Structure 1
């Protein structure tokens, strides 16, 4: 009688998905126990949760400084610094590298080689400079309205930024390289689930914004929609230029979405 085959290994659970999300998108001490396509799917679906934690930490520090007597500008600088620390600056580095690759006007293969270099070119430096200045200025406007407004803006920006990564991981979006984080997560999230995640994020931002009044609810929902829209436009451009996504492109998408969200919230 042939031996009974062992039972199949259990699929990844919510804990595995959260560990993947926090382990790949933050520097928090989380051990990623599984590194497969199924876990990557769950991890990218959970990426807005990681964004919420980062956003609350960032906005919380800014709010604390404001309550202790610091001005809105100091609170804004601290808030902008926390995500950079919690990601080791990987998203900012991705934004700079993507700007260098797009600005080079080179064919895809050569542009990808430029992006993989350790140095930052002039396009990357200028993009980083203006992105950070705009982010700090927008956050300062929010903190000038009160600590709760600044904290909320930081949370919305961080959640929208990570949701952009969920949408970029949907099926049909290829990886530009066969290796790296981009290849590990590209095409893992079913399109329907990606759209559902985006809808949940938009609705959640609007719902929490309702605590500040109906106008803030509308503005928060609009900020999330525009943030994801800008990220989608950038994603399509990168697909045309590079043939797909890379880890650097993911960083650029996150930074672009987060900046769009906080700027929209600062207007009006």
Structure 2
């Protein structure tokens, strides 16, 4: 059984991979065991990021900035602290889904490094949704809901790496996809519990968690068929779209 040291190493790896924090690099090259631990700890990173952006919002609402500027700065802070990699994954995945051709051709489009029209449109829409809805939550002083939306989106990554899905060889996905089983249940229950705390309307939080869970399950199955596997770009796509989905329910 893994001890507390292994858990701390997993959290360290998760922050190392998923944020810009200047943490020491691991001494050895990560393998799938390390990847499994890091993905299982991804919701901890989400909680930290969500708490930080909620704190930023709490400070900004006491200024004369318009609500839309507050929302924009919240989204910008998340992008900066995560190197923008989830946004990059969103654009690459949508470009891959939008192209014609074989799964090999779709993967080539995803690896091209440029943003096509589908990816640009997806980035614009998702960022606009996030900016407006984060601004609405900040205006209403719903700090727990802000933190919950970010956290639940990182819980979605655990589900996107569940056993039964195959990774695309090479890259980040090969280290983490197909590694999660028990962690899905634990983090799913934690997300549901957190969801119950985010609103006076008891159903809103669980509905957000349910929507994210259903969306993650369906879209990763589709991506696995279309690309013949899951890679890191798909995981970034899941993070950004899940955050937007959670916000939609929490604000609606």
Task: Give ranges in structure 1 of 5+ residues lacking alignment.
Answer: 1-9
Match of 2:153 among 132, 157, 161: 161
Task: Give ranges in structure 2 of 5+ residues lacking alignment.
Answer: none
Aligned residue in 2 for 1:239 = 224
The Cα offsets for residues 199-247 of structure 1, whole Å up to 9 and x where unpaired, read as 22121232x32xx53x1x4212211221222122211110110111101
Native 8 Å contact 1:72 1:144 kept in 2: yes
Paired with 2:4 and 2:210, the residues of 1 have a C-alpha distance of: 33
- Greater mean deviation of Cα atoms: 158-167 or 220-229: 220-229
Aligned residue in 2 for 1:248 = 233
Aligned residue in 1 for 2:211 = 226
With over 3 angstroms needed to count, the CA separation of the structure-2 counterparts of 1:119 and 1:204, relative to structure 1, is: same
Paired with 2:61 and 2:7, the residues of 1 have a C-alpha distance of: 36
Paired with 2:5 and 2:117, the residues of 1 have a C-alpha distance of: 43
Q: How does 1:1-268 map to 2 (within 5 A)?
A: 13-33=6-26, 35-146=30-141, 149=142, 151-176=143-168, 178-189=169-180, 191-206=181-196, 208-209=197-198, 212-213=199-200, 215=201, 217-267=202-252
- State the structure with more CA Rg: 1
Native 8 Å contact 1:175 1:183 kept in 2: yes
Deviation at 1:61, TM superposition (A): 1.3
Runs of 4+ aligned residues of structure 1 deviating over 4 Å after TM superposition are: none
Native 8 Å contact 1:79 1:154 kept in 2: no
Deviation at 1:90, TM superposition (A): 0.4
Aligned residue in 2 for 1:4 = none
Deviation at 1:32, TM superposition (A): 4.2
Native 8 Å contact 1:72 1:140 kept in 2: yes
Paired with 2:186 and 2:193, the residues of 1 have a C-alpha distance of: 10
Paired with 1:12 and 1:43, the residues of 2 have a C-alpha distance of: 13
Aligned residue in 2 for 1:6 = none
Paired with 1:32 and 1:193, the residues of 2 have a C-alpha distance of: 25
Native 8 Å contact 2:42 2:157 kept in 1: yes
- Greater mean deviation of Cα atoms: 15-24 or 217-226: 217-226
Paired with 1:43 and 1:200, the residues of 2 have a C-alpha distance of: 17
Deviation at 1:11, TM superposition (A): 10
Deviation at 1:43, TM superposition (A): 1.3
Calculate the TM-score normalised by the size of structure 2.
0.92
Deviation at 1:67, TM superposition (A): 1.7
The total of aligned residue pairs comes to 248
Native 8 Å contact 2:148 2:194 kept in 1: no
